[in-house]
Structure 1
Amino acid sequence: MPTSLPAESRIGRVALRVADLDRVAAFYESVVGLARLDESPDHVSLGAGGARLLELHARPDLPERGPDETGLFHTAFLLPDRASLGDALSRVEGRSRLTGASDHRVSEALYLDDPEGNGVELYRDRPRDEWPTVDGRVRMDTLPLDLDALRTEAAGENDAPPETTVGHVHLEVSSIPDARAFYVDTLGANLRQEWNGAAFAAAGEYHHHVGLNTWNGRERPGTGRGLDRFELLVPGDGALSALHDRFDADAVAVESSDEGLTVRDPDGITLRVRVDD
C-alpha cells in the first residue's frame, strides 16, 4: 500500500468548541476577515471565497481548557500574498492585539489569540525556491518580522482574500515521538523539521501541514473547550482507501461515514480525513 500522503493533500476545516458563539464569530469576521457562511443558534461556519474554513460550535456547558490539556496551539490561515498580510496586520492592530510576529524564512507570520484563548496565525508563504533546505528538509527559524515594512504593503482590504485557506494546524501534544509515529509513520506525512521540542510534518514538500510541540508541558487529552477536530483533505477515493488500510494495519480505530474517516491521535485529538471537493 502507499506509505506517503499524496502531495496534493491539504488541511480542510477546523472546528472549535466555544462558550460565547457570537463574540468568537465576530472576532473571526472582523479581525481574521472571514465571511459568515451559515449559522444556527449553536453553530457558525466561516470561510473565504465560499469555502468553509472554520466551524464554531457553542458549548457553554464545557469548562475552559485546562492548563495541562493537549489540543490546539494555533490555527494558521494562509494568505496569498504580502499585501493581504499587511491588511491582516491593520485589522489586528485596529481591533485586537498581536502576541507575536516572526519571519520563519519560509513564511512571514502574525500571531494572536481569539477571545477564548485559541491561538491564531495569519501568514503568507515566501516563494518555494527561497525556502532554505538541507538534506531534503526545510530549515525554518524564528526571526524578527519588520512590521513597519509590512504596514506599507497593506492594500486597504477589510476582508480576507478568497484564496485564503487553512495552511496548517499546530497542535500541543504530550509526546513528540508518539505524535510523530502517528502523523508520520501511520498517516504518511513527511517529517520536514524537528527541533527544540517540536516537529513539523507535511504532505509532499510543503514546509508543514501539521505542527507538533511539547513546549507547555501538556499531559492529558482535552475535555474542555477548544479544538473539536480538524480535517485532512486527500485527492480521491483511492487515497482515502489507502489511509483506511494504514490505520487498520497500525490498529488505529476508524469511524467511517459519508463525511470520510474519523480517527484520534495518541492525545485524543480528532482528525477527519475526507476526499477534497
Structure 2
Amino acid sequence: MSGSTRDIFGGAPVAQPALSGSYGAPPPGYRLPAGTRLGAVRLQVSHLERSLAWYQEILGMELLDASGDVRSLGVRGANEPLVVLEYRPGTRPVHPGSRLGLYHVAILLPDRPALGRFVQHLAQRGVRAGASDHLVSEALYLHDPDGLGIEVYRDRPRSAWQRIGTELMMATDPFDAAGVVEAAADEPWQGMPSGTVIGHVHLHVGNLARAAVFYSDALGFDRMVWRYPGALFLGAGGYHHHLGVNSWAQGAPAPHADDARLLEWRLVVDEPARALESVRAAGFEMNGALALDPWGTAVRLSATSNG
C-alpha cells in the first residue's frame, strides 16, 4: 500500500488552491455544522500507572483528574481533558492492526515549532516514531504501552492546502525532519502546549462503503479524500479530516471486552440531538448519546467536550 502524492494523483497532478467551499463531497441529508470538533477520547488500558507514566513522560500531558480506576489527562491548566484512561481488570495489550476499531488518536499541536520541540524530546528519550508529510499536515506516529496508536501532528495553514477537482490533496510523503527541528529554534519541550487539541480519530473498519454510509450519509461528515489507497477521510467545516477510516485490517475481529481499546470518542457539535436523530433514522444502533458504527465503535455526540 502506497500513499505518495505520485501514486495517488499521478506524476504531475494539476492542483488548485483549496478555497473554502471548493472541495469535499457533502452528505445527501443532515450535514454536521462548521463548528464541529472533537472532545476527549476514552481508552481502556491494561496497567493504569504504566499508561499514566507514558502519557505524562512521553507525550507531556498533565494529570487533570483521578477517580478510582480512571485518569484524565490534558494540557496543564486546562478544564477539558484530551485523553481519559480507564483500567478494567483483565485487560490485555493488543498488537497493532490485529483488531478493528482504533488505528490512532491524533493530537494536534498548535504550530510547527511545537512539533519540532516534540521531535527533539523523543530523540532525547530514545523513542522511535514513524513520520510523514500529508501535504495538509506533518505527523509523527507512536504506540502507547498497550499497542494503541497515537499521532502527534501540526497543520499547515489552510491557504497552503490544494485540491484536485473537488477532492482535497492528502498523501504520505517523506517527513522534513531537519526543517521541523529547525523550527523549534533550540527551545526545549515542556509538555503539551496551550492550544493542543484532539485533531482527529482514525479507525480500522470492516468495509469502506459501509463506513461511508454510517459516518457521512448518517452522521453527516463531508467526504474530503477518497482516492487514498484503502482509506477515506471525512471532516466538517472544511477541515481536512476529523475522522479517517481504512480497510487495512479488513478481516480482523472487533475488539474484545478484555482488549485494550478505544471505548469512545467524542464529537462536539451544536444541537447534538439533530445528529443523533439522523443516525437513528438511518437505522444504526444507538445507546443514548452514543452512536455505534457497524463494528461497534462508539462516538458520543455532545454539546461540550467533557459533559
* TM-score (structure 1 length as normaliser): 0.92
Distance 2:172 2:128 in 1: 16
SS, match of residue 249 in structure 2: coil
Distance 1:78 1:72 in 2: 17
For residue 93 of structure 1, what is the aligned residue in structure 2?
123
Residue 298 of structure 2 corresponds to residue 265 of structure 1: no
Q: CA-to-partner distance for each residue in 1:75-119, whole Å, 9 max, x for gaps?
A: 100000011101111222223523311111100111111111111
For residue 193 of structure 2, what is the aligned residue in structure 1?
161
Change in 2 beyond 3 A, CA 1:102/1:186: same
SS, match of residue 183 in structure 2: coil
Distance 2:88 2:147 in 1: 15
Contact 2:94 2:148 in 1 (8 A): no
Residue 276 of structure 2 corresponds to residue 247 of structure 1: no
Distance 2:106 2:232 in 1: 16
Distance 1:120 1:244 in 2: 28
Contact 2:29 2:217 in 1 (8 A): no
For residue 267 of structure 2, what is the aligned residue in structure 1?
232
Opposite residue 234 of structure 2, the aligned amino acid is: A
Residue 83 of structure 2 corresponds to residue 54 of structure 1: yes
Change in 2 beyond 3 A, CA 1:2/1:184: closer
Distance 1:78 1:233 in 2: 16
Contact 1:173 1:219 in 2 (8 A): no
Distance 2:91 2:143 in 1: 19
Distance 2:210 2:127 in 1: 34
* Pairwise CA distance, 1:136: 2.8
Opposite residue 293 of structure 2, the aligned amino acid is: D
SS, match of residue 232 in structure 1: strand
Residue 149 of structure 2 corresponds to residue 119 of structure 1: yes
Opposite residue 249 of structure 1, the aligned amino acid is: A
* TM-score (structure 2 length as normaliser): 0.83
For residue 49 of structure 2, what is the aligned residue in structure 1?
22
SS, match of residue 254 in structure 2: coil
1:154-193 correspondence to structure 2 within 5 Å: 154=184, 155-193=187-225
* Pairwise CA distance, 1:131: 0.6
Opposite residue 166 of structure 2, the aligned amino acid is: G
Opposite residue 276 of structure 2, the aligned amino acid is: H
Distance 1:133 1:192 in 2: 10
C-alpha RMSD over aligned residues:
1.7
Residue 241 of structure 2 corresponds to residue 211 of structure 1: no
* Pairwise CA distance, 1:255: 2.5
Distance 2:250 2:281 in 1: 30
Change in 2 beyond 3 A, CA 1:174/1:232: same
For residue 69 of structure 2, what is the aligned residue in structure 1?
42
Distance 2:99 2:302 in 1: 27
Opposite residue 209 of structure 1, the aligned amino acid is: H
- More off after superposition, 181-190 vs 157-166: 157-166
* Pairwise CA distance, 1:33: 1.4
Opposite residue 269 of structure 2, the aligned amino acid is: V
Residue 182 of structure 2 corresponds to residue 147 of structure 1: no
Residue 105 of structure 2 corresponds to residue 71 of structure 1: no
For residue 30 of structure 2, what is the aligned residue in structure 1?
3
Contact 1:30 1:95 in 2 (8 A): no
Distance 2:279 2:223 in 1: 18
For residue 25 of structure 2, what is the aligned residue in structure 1?
none
Contact 1:18 1:58 in 2 (8 A): yes
Q: CA-to-partner distance for each residue in 1:53-80, whole Å, 9 max, x for gaps?
A: 1000012413344764211111100000
Opposite residue 127 of structure 1, the aligned amino acid is: P
For residue 20 of structure 2, what is the aligned residue in structure 1?
none
Change in 2 beyond 3 A, CA 1:117/1:68: closer
Change in 2 beyond 3 A, CA 1:34/1:131: same
Sequence identity (%) = 37
Unaligned runs of 5+ in 1: none
The number of aligned residues is 270
Q: CA-to-partner distance for each residue in 1:22-45, whole Å, 9 max, x for gaps?
A: 111111112211111011341110
* Pairwise CA distance, 1:244: 2.4
Contact 2:100 2:205 in 1 (8 A): yes
Contact 1:31 1:88 in 2 (8 A): no
SS, match of residue 110 in structure 1: strand
